[in-house]
Every structure is written in structure tokens, then in C-alpha cells.
Copies of this chain bind each other. A is one copy, B any other.
Amino acid sequence: MACIVMKFGGTSMAGTERIRRVAQIVKRQADGGHEVAVVVSAMAGETDRLVQFCREANPLFDPAEYDVVVASGEQVTSGLLAMTLQAIGASARSWMGWQLPLHTDTAHGKARIGSIDQGNLIASMASGQIAVIPGFQGMTADRRLSTLGRGGSDTSAVAVAAAIKADRCDIYTDVDGVYTTDPRIVSRARKLKMVTYEEMLELASVGAKVLQTRSVGLAMKEGVRVQVLSSFVEDGAPPADSLPGTMIVSDEELAAAQQEDPTMERQLITGIAHDKNEAKITLTRVPDEPGAVARIFGPLADANINVDMIVQNVGRDRGETDVTFTAPRSDLTRCTEILENQREAIGYNRMITDSRIAKISVVGVGMRSHAGIAADMFKALSGRKINIQAITTSEIKVSVLIDEDETELAVRVLHTAYGLDAD
């Protein structure tokens, strides 16, 4: 018998018919003798509808009241799932964030989870009752409703799993696992049995939108085993204990699994991700002196613009350098306005922007012990005449900027080069 947290997103909860399907998946786990908690999102589209109401009511809405409004979406689906479970013969009840309570800080609209009072929850689950918990919501110290920010339900699920020391946190999505790359681009992409937290974090940060980054970070910190799997199973659904998703685990667990099962072959590279949502900005002939870089990125940070890659070339001329960085495309206009205003203060010569770029990243814990991964990447790309505009690396990731038009070609070339293609 295991203790399992299951999480279902907005697409899975969109309407009473889909909720019935979710109820069947949940009941199958409960019938398998497991203790089950379910974390649910609002119906797809509902949070957008509620946010729109808030914008109409007050463009500068009070985040505390915003939370009162938008938290209602998950309240509705959790009540509906509890009664649907009852309809098919399962014992179930809903637990609002304030009923547990799930404590958060007071950063309304993007609150962080502090702790969860798990006592009542554990007792209820031990008695055989399925706990249905609205994702995305919690309660502040002054007993007001709070929400965790968009996509926060993944984080709720991981936090609940950590609090009740669940054996597993199953995140049901509209894909059936984590793939070596986007299967819409590479038909021979393979589903991964296991990835590590760090790999998942790097993949999530570069465009693989399977899980919310925050939830992966929390799972890593708390050691929660997370499984990604699909809620859209066919009628011949698998039995409860052989679920075919991707497990997200620690380095140690991965190593142990590989020792135990030698057929579970691991490539050096785990996955290849792409991201078309960034734009590139280059400032030429920036004075190569202490404080120059701070004068560029300080104002951008003040404007809440999330700068990603930063590349500073060695100056060709003594005392000057070029600075290139990327930022979200949606922020490009604000970005250039700010930098125009700072032209005097920074002292650059020209500003060159390009929004037709893509970031391609190769990710894998195998990089730690193997040299030459980056070199392989550059060789494979240059073999197809794909020009690399910038490079950054982390311990387990290499990212390059290329022309947007070459995105799919680059992903396919690298997928083959690293031996990831399925047979």
C-alpha cells in the first residue's frame, strides 16, 4: 500500500464529463489499496474568465481581492470531483486551502507555500477517504485567501505530497511523459522512463512546458518523487501499479535504477529543448569598466524584465566591449525604451535587436562526467551550416542562440547526433 498524490490540470477538469473520467482514474488507485489525495486545477478557461472580471472591475486590482475571485475556480472543481467520486462509490471529501490549512506568505497572486497542517488530512486519508484539494490556493497568516500564481497547482500537489510524505506525486497532463524532445518536431523522440530533478529544471526553464519550474524545484528540495503521465488514457487503461509515465527522481535514485536494470540504457544527453519566446539585444562598444554592466541590467531588473542569457565578448578595442543578452519577446519594446533612456548613462554606441531567434538547449546529467558534449553540439550544427549567435553553459546544459527559421532542423540534427532517435 502506498500514499499517492494525484494532480489533474484544467484540461482534464473541463466539464463534468471529463471530471467523471478523472474520478475513474482516481478510484482505480484507491481500489488498489492506496491512500489517495487529489489536487485539481480550475476548469480550462475559468481562471482566464475570472481574471478578466478583475481587470474590468479594477485595472489596478487589489491582489488580496483578486485571490478571493480567482481561487473560486478550483473550489468549484474540487467540490465537483468529490461528489463525482461519491457517485461512483468512493469515499471522498474536499479540503479548501483554508480548511487544511495550507499556509502561504502574504504575496497575494504569487504566494509561496510555507507549511501545511497535515494532521486532519492524514487522519482522513487513513480512514479510507479520498482527499480532494483545490490547487493554486492557500491562506495567509491573517486568514485571507491567497493564490500561488498561474500554474501553481503543480506546486500545490508537490507541497501536499511533501507534507504527508507521499510515496509519489503523479502529475496528470495532456502529454504522457517527458520526451527526449518535442515529438511534434521529431517523430522518433523517445519517452524517458526517468529524469533527474536538475534535468527537469533545466528542460522546464528552456521551454519544455510539462511541469511548472517551481514545482520541480520544490520536489527536488523536499525529495518528492514526481511522475508525469497522461490523463487521456485509452479504454484499455493500464492497471494501477504499472503506470507508464516519466519519473522525476534524484541523481541517487537514477543511479540505483540503472544498476538494478542494465537494460535501462542512458544516453549522455537526456533531452533537447527549444524556446522561441526570446529576443536578442546587443549593445556595442560599451565601456569596459566596473559598473557598466550594472548600469544596463539594473534598470531592466527594476522594470521586472526577466533577462536570460548574457554574453560579454572580450573587447576588440581596448576599453570597450559588446554586450549581448536575451529577454522575453513580449518585453522587447519596454526593454528598448529603457535602454534608449539609459544611453547616456551606459555609454553604448549602437543597440541591435533581433526577435527572430531561437534558443536550443541540450540537457543531461551525463555532461558532468563527460567532456566534449558542447564541442559535439557545435560540430553537428556547423555540419548543417547552422550559425551559432551566442552560447551559454551550465553544469548540465549547453544552450545556443540560432536563427528562428532553423529551429526544427537544429533539434532534429542534435537528436540524431546524440543518439536519441528511437529505433
Contacts and interface: CB of A to CB of B under 8 A. Distances in A.
7 contacts: A57-B87, A58-B84, A58-B87, A60-B87, A64-B93, A67-B79, A68-B76
A61 B75 contact: no
Listed from nearest, the 6 A-B pairs whose CB atoms lie closest are A68-B79, A58-B87, A69-B79, A16-B56, A72-B72, A58-B83
A249 interface: no
Interface in A44-101: 50, 53-54, 56-62, 64-69, 71-73, 75-76, 78-80, 82-84, 86-87, 93-94, 96, 98-99
Contacts of A72: 72-73, 75-76
A21 to B, nearest CB: 12
A144 interface: yes
B82 A68 contact: yes
Contacts of A99: 143-144
Q: Which of A50, A60, A79, A145 has the most CB of B within 10 A?
A: A79
Contacts of A78: 68
A161 interface: no
Contacts of A65: 79-80, 82-83, 86, 93-94
A80 B86 contact: no
Contacts of A62: 82-83, 86
Interface in A95-135: 96, 98-99
Contacts of A71: 75
Given A60-B87, A72-B76, 7 more contacts: A53-B80, A57-B84, A57-B87, A62-B82, A65-B79, A65-B94, A69-B79
A203 interface: no
A80 B87 contact: no
A139 to B, nearest CB: 10
B68 A96 contact: yes
Q: Which of A17, A58, A144 has the most CB of B within 10 A?
A: A58
A19 interface: yes
Contacts of A94: 65, 68
A82 B99 CA distance: 23
A12 B363 CA distance: 56
A376 B56 CA distance: 57
A270 B56 CA distance: 44
A194 B83 CA distance: 46
Interface in A203-228: none
Nearest to A49: B76
Interface string A336-364: 00000000000000000000000000000
Interface string A17-57: 10110000000000000000000000000000010011011
B57 A19 contact: yes
Contacts of A67: 79
Contacts of A56: 16-17
Nearest to A87: B58
Contacts of A87: 57-60
